[in-house]
Copies of this chain bind each other. A is one copy, B any other.
Amino acid sequence: MIPDRSLEVLRAIVSDYIATREPVGSKSLVERHSFGVSAATIRNDMAFLEDEDLIHAPHTSAGRVPTDKGYRVFVDRLSEVKPISAGERQAIETFMTGSADLDETLGRTVKLLSTLTNQVAMVQYPTLGKASIRHIELIPASDTRILMVLITDSGRIQQHVIELNEKYEEAVIAEVRAKLNALLIGVALNRVDEKTKGFSLTFEPVRRAVVELILQNLLEQVDANRQEKIILAGTSNLVRREEDFPGSISPVLEAIEEQMVLLKLVTEMQAEQHGVSLRIGRENTFEGLANASVVLSGYENHGTEMAKLGVIGPTRMDYSSNIAAVRAVANYLTKALGN
């Protein structure tokens, strides 16, 4: 167990360090906070915290800096999440109102989150979930191309152009369209595959090639629902915080520019818990993010699809504000998508 006063000292060290970016020493600590004990006593506590690997001295005879583990204890046990201010609430509300389109809503959300936190913000597109098919449309787009539109009951709409290598008869398209809808409306996305087994056999042999091609494209689209995507905003905030990244920010920028890394990150953290989850420094398995922290929260789309949104910043970030902002934005987004 960590004694109470030592925990208080840790809290003080973290908040001072976040505020000043200077390693904090025993003397300035007692000056700024009223512990009711002398600097020497604090030094003993600090020695204890150092033994526990919660703080760390960049070099002999320097002040102390929180370790990743120290930040972790801080956020888990010490920090209170600040309620967001009236102004922020106001900002969120004006920002989120009046956009019907999923793309636009998410675009605004990510921008909002980055403005609110002054960090890099990310929003994951909603994924599959329990959604089912509401409607499938096939529209001739040119002599050899067909536009396929897939509408799910979560309100998501996907479009895709199918390239045929030959001309087609409109009648086939109409027939396929009718049969597909009859077969699939109300069917959950993850059951489309089994439902359409043998589908092309219900057509005349000469038409089966075209039907197969359309079906294949449909399955791809259904699957693309699983394929995930993340949008970003506020990359320049990273540069403004450059001095918080020892070494270089280059690896961080590379990491966040790489969809795969972010997706992996999001998926890993998905499992952890509901509400806001955190990765601090080296808790991120990806090397490039060793000096970065990630704050994530889930949000819902129509109660069926689930995805994440959050911010990335230096380990030395204002956790309580950022957690509050991420939580608030996730709630508002869920509300905005819920209608």
Contact = CB atoms under 8 A, between A and B. Distances in A.
A41 interface: no
A306 interface: no
A328 interface: no
A149 B160 contact: no
Copies of this chain, whole number = 2
Nearest to A139: B137
B155 A157 contact: no
A32 B140 CA distance: 65
Nearest to A339: B163
Interface size bucket, A side?
Answer: 20 to 34
Nearest to A147: B157
Interface stretch (A124-132, A196-204, A249-257, A314-322): A249-257
A47 interface: no
A159 B161 CA distance: 12
B139 A134 contact: no
A286 to B, nearest CB: 15
Contact of A235 (B140, B149, B235): B235
Interface of A: 100-101, 134-135, 137, 139-142, 145, 147, 149, 151, 155, 157, 159-161, 163, 233-236, 239-240, 248-250, 253-254, 257
